[in-house]
Amino acid sequence: EAQVTQNPRYLITVTGKKLTVTCSQNMNHEYMSWYRQDPGLGLRQIYYSMNVEVTDKGDVPEGYKVSRKEKRNFPLILESPSPNQTSLYFCASSITSGRADGAQYFGPGTRLTVL
Amino acid sequence: QQQVKQSPQSLIVQKGGISIINCAYENTAFDYFPWYQQFPGKGPALLIAIRPDVSEKKEGRFTISFNKSAKQFSLHIMDSQPGDSATYFCAALNYQLIWGAGTKLIIKP
């Protein structure tokens, strides 16, 4: 089954404790992206990747890191989480490179709480 | 301007009625306008999309109306059903997808 998977689905952590949210897609997509979703703010892009070893900042990259060592995986790293990073996070992928494809496939989301 | 402005923020419609969600944009370089549907606990999923060379696209009960001169596009849900209750996002694509803030739609039985 074609899908984007994220782990963990739920995470409660404390300020400053490094964490990684994994994202994997099995569709051989070149483009992958991370979003955060907050009430009233819609979806805001954190980072995106056009292909392996190619990553770039989205609208709200501060406090986050990503890597794209393999085509299928795109982990999101919070080196020192803070309470303002409490949010619902989505990973997404789409087939094209060069520019984003409007048809993005989303993972199920990771709800992160930073105390 | 890269913004996409979506309204209303929330909408309540009676079963069988027409739900209408509107979006407006400024950047004339946008060339693809998708709508996404998100159910609670799930990620958004592509519902329907349109390119600016057509004024309307219909898929079942869902229709996008596109007004290029006004830089506006809207989603119409005909014969709205309780199963349509979800959050709807419009978006516009240039080099990246720019998202509207979302509309929470509730269909009352």
Residues of B in contact with A34 (CB under 8 A): none
Q: In this predicted structure, what is the pLDDT of residue A101?
A: 61
Report residue B1's pLDDT band, with 50, 70 and 90 as the boundaries: low
The alpha carbon of B10 is separated from its chain's Cα centroid by a whole number of angstroms, namely: 13
**Spatial distance between the Cα atoms of A88 and A106, rounded to a whole number of angstroms:** 13
For residue A80, the distance in angstroms to the closest alpha carbon of chain B comes to 26
B41 or A22, which is more confident: A22
The verdict on a CB contact (< 8 Å) between B41 and A109 is yes
Q: In this predicted structure, what is the pLDDT of residue A39?
A: 87
Q: Does B45 touch chain A (CB under 8 A)?
A: yes
For residue A34, the distance in angstroms to the closest alpha carbon of chain B comes to 12
Terminal-residue alpha carbon distance, chain A: 36
pLDDT in tens, A53-111: 999 999 999 999 999 999 999 999 999 999 999 999 999 999 875 455 668 899 999 99
- Nearest CB to B95; choose among A44, A92, A100: A100
Whether the ω angle into residue A8 lies within 30 degrees of 0, i.e. cis, is: yes
- The structure tokens listed for A101 are 């494809």
pLDDT at B105 over 80: yes
pLDDT in tens, B35-65: 999 999 999 999 999 988 999 999 999 999 9
Q: Is the distance from CB of B76 to CB of B84 less than 8 angstroms?
A: no
